[in-house]
Structure 1
């Protein structure tokens, strides 16, 4: 039998959180007539925007693990639904960037905002050192997930 110490309890809890977050995201997708990949795309686009990085279709496809045809279909579907728009690149006007529309951001906040708010409130009880430890753990798990494929 594998180690069942406190570390494994945390790993199992992280797995349970991951499952619940996936179900929460799936409910959002279902309620809004989206595929789960559509939601992942919107998250990737919002993350890029927050980091002040342009997201081309090629880069979006790479982030999501989609081929060119799949990415085009995804962007077309999101654009038809009014969730994204194609715009000229800021640095290179020949490139086309994909941006999330304000209505899509509002739709996301309506669903995910309460959960985000509760998570922020939970984090406020931790001091700076504890928050840094939580951040370090989560970043480490994310990197491990990328590497252990």
Structure 2
């Protein structure tokens, strides 16, 4: 079986264009992330850790170091090293749970937030301008597509 479908019909051509655009978007996103990491002396794993912490913090569901280890596919010791390094540079801070003092949550540090806002702010504004071009129904379709593709990618990664 070939990896690429025939481009003989309009749907097949459009599907291939979407796959090509998605591949290009992912590659460009990785280059941007590596530029941020390089500029700020971060290892790519550090950047992935920051992304996980940020997403969960925005969702008001902060991560623990153990959860981060699982998300990064690291041992808890290696994850602690990542967290220590990020905390030392002001990217993260540790906050004890108010209800269970044994539990420690990872939070984005103020210096890290400022660096990210400065670096990614222009991209955020460009992204917002693109999103404004779509009505609610189109955004729902895009969301459904990206969610499904994300699940497909995650399933493939889990099988590796």
* TM-score with structure 1 setting the length: 0.95
Instruction: Give the unaligned 5+ runs of structure 2.
Output: 8-12
Unaligned runs of 5+ residues in structure 1 are none
TM-score normalised according to structure 2 size: 0.89
**Structure 1 residue corresponding to 2:112, chosen from 104, 128, 131:** 104
Aligned to 2:142: 134
Aligned-residue RMSD, C-alpha = 1.1
- Matched residues in 1 for 2:150 and 2:45: separation? 19
Which of 33, 41, 48 pairs up with 1:25? 33
**In the alignment, is the contact (CA less than 8 A) between 2:90 and 2:110 conserved in 1?**
no
After the TM superposition, which segments of 4 or more aligned residues of structure 1 sit over 4 Å from their partners?
none
- Alpha-carbon separation, structure 2, partners of 1:136 and 1:114: 26
Give the number of the structure whose alpha-carbon radius of gyration is greater. Answer: 2
* C-alpha separation in 2, matches of 1:28 and 1:128: 32
Give the aligned length. Answer: 149
Q: 2:53, 2:106 within 8 Å by CA — same for their partners in 1? A: yes
